[in-house]
């Protein structure tokens, strides 16, 4: 067995929705670095084009287009566009998500719809469209973005967490439907990653540091540290993994409260 080759994505064709920034951008870069040709998409066209340009400057293959991930018609058009440009879609990654930090009592219907439409319905649309392509091909890997908030929560995150829990269950259900056609479906579940979504927390040092102390390694994560998991799930190294949500949380969900006893134990 050539284990090194299992991680090689040379010749693969990838679609990354959410590639303008954060985890999506890093995922596009990681897939390209391992040999995949990547079609980058996001609602922010300028930043998506910048991601594709950076990949090309590093010697990779990438192009870009604009898509509103919450719009089913636009997602369908994106998948058709990517398939026409790439010839096939072997890897499909979707990462867009938003949160409005409010308690349930304070949510308006419009705010609720905005979160559900992007986080959950957008993932559903993406699964439908890339799933059809991959079932026809008899091969493919689909990766969605859940969160630790699918299982652990705090005030103000109930609606966001509900959408992320829904994504993890959708992954299981869809994996059961397309697995016999050679298609794998998984999700990643990051904890505290430094992205645009979490940027407001960085402006509040006491909260930022408290969150860092809740992990067993005492720091926030970087998008690149999530992108490596995406690349693994996309590769043949993960050929027997489907219907799973992979925690990338530095032990956030492994402990109840900060690991205050570690210093004493180390003495």
Beta strands per DSSP E along 191-239:
none
Distance between CA atoms of residues 151 and 162, nearest Å: 9
- DSSP-derived 3-state class of residue 26: helix
- Measured from the Cβ of residue 152, the count of other Cβ atoms closer than 10 Å reads 15
- Measured from the Cβ of residue 267, the count of other Cβ atoms closer than 10 Å reads 4
Distance between CA atoms of residues 259 and 164, nearest Å: 26
DSSP 193: B
Residues with a catalytic annotation lie at: 160
Describe the crossing of helices 22-33 and 45-57 by its angle, rounded to 10 degrees: 30
Dihedral sign, Cα of residue 223, residue 224, residue 230, residue 234: positive
Residue 93's Cβ-count burial label (10 Å; 0-12, 13-18, 19+) is: buried
């Amino acid at each position: 067995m050539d284990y090194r080759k299992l991680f090689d994505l040379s010749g693969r064709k990838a679609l990354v929705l959410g590639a303008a920034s954060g985890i999506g951008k890093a995922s596009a870069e990681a897939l390209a670095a391992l040999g995949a040709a990547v079609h980058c998409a996001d609602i922010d066209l300028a930043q998506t084009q910048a991601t594709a340009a950076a990949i090309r400057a590093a010697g990779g293959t990438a192009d870009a287009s604009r898509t509103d991930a919450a719009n089913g018609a636009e997602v369908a058009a994106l998948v058709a566009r990517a398939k026409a440009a790439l010839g096939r879609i072997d890897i499909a990654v979707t990462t867009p998500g938003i949160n409005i930090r409010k308690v349930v009592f304070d949510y308006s219907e419009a705010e609720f719809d905005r979160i559900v439409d992007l986080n959950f319905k957008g993932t559903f649309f993406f699964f439908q469209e890339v799933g059809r392509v991959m079932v026809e091909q008899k091969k493919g890997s689909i990766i969605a973005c859940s969160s630790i908030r699918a299982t652990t929560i705090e005030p103000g995150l109930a609606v966001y967490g509900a959408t992320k829990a829904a994504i993890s269950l959708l992954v299981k259900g869809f994996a059961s439907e397309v697995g016999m056609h050679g298609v794998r479906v998984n999700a990643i579940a990051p904890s505290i990653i430094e992205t645009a979504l979490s940027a407001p927390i960085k402006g509040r040092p006491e909260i930022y540091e408290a969150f860092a102390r809740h992990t067993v390694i005492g720091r926030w994560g970087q998008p690149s540290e999530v992108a490596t998991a995406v690349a693994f799930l996309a590769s043949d190294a993960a050929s027997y993994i489907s219907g799973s949500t992979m925690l990338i949380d530095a032990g956030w969900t492994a402990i109840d409260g900060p690991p205050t006893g570690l210093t004493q134990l180390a003495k």
